[in-house]
Amino acid sequence: MHHFHYSGSDLQCESVDLAAVAGLYGTPTYVYSAATMEDNFRRLQRGLAGLDAQLCYAMKANSNLAILRHFSNLGAGFDLVSGGEIRRVLAAGGNVQTSVFAGVGKTEAEIALALENGIFSFHVESEPELARINHVAGKLGVKAPIAIRVNPDVDAHTHAKITTGKSDNKFGIPLKYAAAAYEAAAKYPNLKIKGVQMHIGSQLTSVAPFVEAVEKVAPFAADLKARFGITYFSIGGGMGIIYKDALASGQQAWWDAQPADKRPLTPESYGAALVPLLQPLGLKILLEHGRFMVGNSGALLSRVEHLKRGAGKNFLIVDAAMNDLVRPAMYDSYHEIVPVHRDSSRRALVTDVVGPICESGDCFAKDRQLQEVGEGELIAFLSAGAYGYTMASRYNTRGMAAEVLVKGSAFELINARETFEQMIAGEKVPAFLK
Ligand code: LLP
C-alpha cells in the first residue's frame, strides 16, 4: 500500500498534485510520501507484535536527512555502513545508540567514530575485523559491542547482484566456522559479545528463504545465548516490494484480488511466519529493512524531451537518466512508468523509455506500453524511493536531482537540485597546466 494515486486525471502523492511539484522545483525530482513510510513502519511493527523488535532502518536505501528524522521520530535506529552514514544520522538528530554498524571493510577512523558515538553494536564480517575493532576500542579505552554476521548459505532467489546469504558471497562467516569466530572474539579484551546477525539478500518476494535462514541460525543463536549471554539476533533486511503493479498496489482492492497462493510478501505474512520461530529464543530481534520502508514511498518525476520515431521502434527521450536512477541499467530492474496527467482519449504508445546519456544502457524500459505523451509532458517512475537517489551519480556532468517530501497536502524541498558550481567546487587545474 502506498499514497500515489490519480485524483481524476492527475497523479497525486498523498494530496499533492505531482504536476505542481514539478512546476515549482523542475525535473528530474524525487518525491516521497511521509505517510507511506509511516504506514510501512507501523505495519512492520504490528506484524512483529509479540517480539521485542527494533527496526534499524537500512539507510543506504535512502539517506536524506529529512527521511532519517522521520524514521527516528517513529522510533527507528539505523543500519549504518560508513562514517558518512554515522555523520548523517547525527546531522539528522537520530540515535546512534540504537544503531548498528555493518560492512566488510570498516576503517579504523570509522570504527572510532562509531565507538565515540556509543554505537549499539558492530556487525563483524571477518576474523581480521575482530582484531581491528579490538585494537581501536583498546586505544579509546572502551569495550566494543559486537555481533558476528553469519552466512547461512541460503538461496534468496533474487538478483545475483543483491543476493548475499550464499557461501560464495563475500559476506559474513560461514555458519560452520562461526562458533570458532565467537571463541576468538571472546578472547579479545576490548570486545563485548552482544548478538548474532544475518542478512541473506534484498528484494525477496517470498517468505520461504527467510524461514529457512532463521531455522538454520536460531539454534546457533540459542547456543550463543547460553555460552556468551548474547541479547539480540538481527535477522537483516531484504523484504521485497511491488515493482510491476506499483500503481495498482496502492489500493486495497488490488491486494484483495490477488489469489491466495500468489500474494506478494507483506509485513503481516513475514511476521506470521517468523514470530513463532523467533519468540522462543527470548532475544531482542533487530530488523534492517531498507527497501520495504521507503521503496514504494517514492517516485521520480521526469519531463519528456522528445518522442523519436525510429525504424520500427519508438524512443521516448526523457530528462531523467541512468545517473538519476541507475537500477534499470544496473540490475535490469523494472519500474512502472505512468503519465502525471492521465488522458483516456490518448492512443497507446509502445516505446523504449530512455535518458539523454551517451550510452545504450541509459534505458529505463524496453517496448513499454504507455499512454502517448509528448514533449514537455510529465511522467513518473514509481517505486523509486529506495536505492534511487542514494545510487545516483553526476555522470555526463548532470547534477544530482532535487528531492521533495510530501505530508498530506504539505510538501517541501528536502534537497535542492545540485548546481553546476557545486558540482565543480572541489576541482581545480594544477599549476603545472597553467
Ligand atoms: N542489511 C544488510 C547487511 C544489507 O547489506 C542490506 C542491503 C540491508 C540490510 C537492506 O536490505 P533491503 O531491506 O533494502 O533489501 N542497490 C540494490 C540493493 C542493495 C542492497 C544491499 N544491502 C537495489 O537497488 O536493488
Are 283 and 319 part of one and the same domain?
no
- The grid cell for 116 is 565515540
Are 164 and 236 part of one and the same domain?
yes
Classify residue 15: in a domain, yes or no.
Answer: no
Are 174 and 136 part of one and the same domain?
yes
* Short-list 103, 108, 283, CA closest to 193: 283
Given a cut of 90, is residue 424 above it in pLDDT?
yes
Classify residue 231: in a domain, yes or no.
Answer: yes
For the CA of 197, the closest atom of ligand 1 is: 3
Are 178 and 245 part of one and the same domain?
yes
Q: Whose CA is nearest to atom 5 of ligand 1?
A: 199
Q: How far is the CA of 102 from the centre of ligand 1 (A)?
A: 11
pLDDT of residue 160: 72
pLDDT of residue 339: 98
User: Which residues form ligand 1's pocket by a CB distance below 6 Å?
Assistant: 58, 61, 79, 102, 162, 164, 199, 202-203, 236-239, 288-292, 327, 331, 387, 391
* DSSP track, 378-423: EEEE-S-SSSSGGG---TTT-PPPEEEEEETTEEEEEEPPPPHHHH
Dist. CA 196–CA 216, nearest whole Å: 13
At which of 220, 255, 290 does a domain end? 290
For the CA of 330, the closest atom of ligand 1 is: 24
Are 111 and 139 part of one and the same domain?
yes
Classify residue 68: in a domain, yes or no.
Answer: yes
What is the best residue among 163, 202, 294, 381 to mutate for testing ligand 1's pocket, by most ligand atoms within 8 Å of CB?
202
Region class of 77: left (phi > 0), else alpha (psi between -120 and 50), else beta: beta
Classify residue 432: in a domain, yes or no.
Answer: no
What is the best residue among 67, 203, 291 to mutate for testing ligand 1's pocket, by most ligand atoms within 8 Å of CB?
291
* Distance of alpha carbon 406 from the chain centroid: 19
Q: Whose CA is nearest to atom 22 of ligand 1?
A: 202
Q: How far is the CA of 163 from the centre of ligand 1 (A)?
A: 9
For the CA of 103, the closest atom of ligand 1 is: 3
> Of the ranges 258-262, 318-322, 341-345, which one carries the lowest mean pLDDT score?
258-262
Are 105 and 159 part of one and the same domain?
yes
Domain that holds residue 358: 296-423
Q: What's the alpha-carbon Rg for the chain, to the nearest Å? A: 23
For the CA of 237, the closest atom of ligand 1 is: 13
Bond from prior residue into 28 cis (ω within 30 degrees of 0) = yes
Dist. CA 103–CA 199, nearest whole Å: 12
Dist. CA 57–CA 396, nearest whole Å: 32
Classify residue 209: in a domain, yes or no.
Answer: yes
Q: How far is the CA of 96 from the centre of ligand 1 (A)?
A: 19
Dist. CA 211–CA 207, nearest whole Å: 6
Given a cut of 70, is residue 307 above it in pLDDT?
yes
Find the CATH number of the domain harbouring 361.
2.40.37.10
Dist. CA 159–CA 166, nearest whole Å: 12
165: confidence class by pLDDT, cuts 50, 70, 90: low
Q: How far is the CA of 231 from the centre of ligand 1 (A)?
A: 24
3-state secondary structure 52-74: CEEEEEECCCCCCHHHHHHHHHH
At which of 255, 290, 325 does a domain end? 290
Given a cut of 80, is residue 145 above it in pLDDT?
yes
Are 178 and 285 part of one and the same domain?
yes
What is the best residue among 163, 164, 288 to mutate for testing ligand 1's pocket, by most ligand atoms within 8 Å of CB?
288
> Of the ranges 24-38, 72-86, 145-159, 180-194, which one carries the lowest mean pLDDT score?
145-159
Are 257 and 372 part of one and the same domain?
no
263: confidence class by pLDDT, cuts 50, 70, 90: confident
Are 240 and 120 part of one and the same domain?
yes
Find the CATH number of the domain harbouring 71.
3.20.20.10
Residues 366-383 have a mean pLDDT of: 97
| Tens digits of residue pLDDT in 41-95 | 999 999 999 999 999 999 999 999 999 999 999 999 999 999 999 999 999 999 9
pTM across the whole model: 0.97
Are 67 and 200 part of one and the same domain?
yes
Cell 497507446 belongs to residue? 348
* Short-list 390, 157, 107, 145, CA closest to 286: 145
> Of the ranges 128-142, 154-168, 293-307, 329-343, which one carries the lowest mean pLDDT score?
154-168
Q: How far is the CA of 173 from the centre of ligand 1 (A)?
A: 18
Classify residue 239: in a domain, yes or no.
Answer: yes
Classify residue 192: in a domain, yes or no.
Answer: yes
H or E element that contains 202? none
Q: Is 358 among the catalytic positions? A: yes
* Short-list 61, 66, 89, 74, CA closest to 412: 66
pLDDT exceeding 70 applies to what percent of the chain? 99
Domain count, the chain: 2
Could you give the 3-state DSSP secondary structure of residue 17? strand
pLDDT, mean over the chain: 96
For the CA of 386, the closest atom of ligand 1 is: 24
At which of 290, 315, 342 does a domain end? 290
